[in-house]
Amino acid sequence: MKKAIHPEFYDDAKITCACGTVYEVGSTEQEIDVELCAACHPFYTGEQKIIDTARRVEKYKARSALKTTKTTGKKVKREKRATQKTAKRAKEA
**What are the tens digits of pLDDT across the range 29-55?**
999 999 888 888 877 788 776 666 678
Sheet holding 31-34, edge to edge: 22-27, 10-17, 31-34
Model confidence, pTM: 0.45
What is the average pLDDT value for the chain, to the nearest integer?
Answer: 84
Paired strand residues for 60? none
Query: Which CATH code for domain 10-52+65-92?
Result: 4.10.80.400
The amino acid occupying position 14 is: K
What pLDDT score does 28 carry?
A: 94
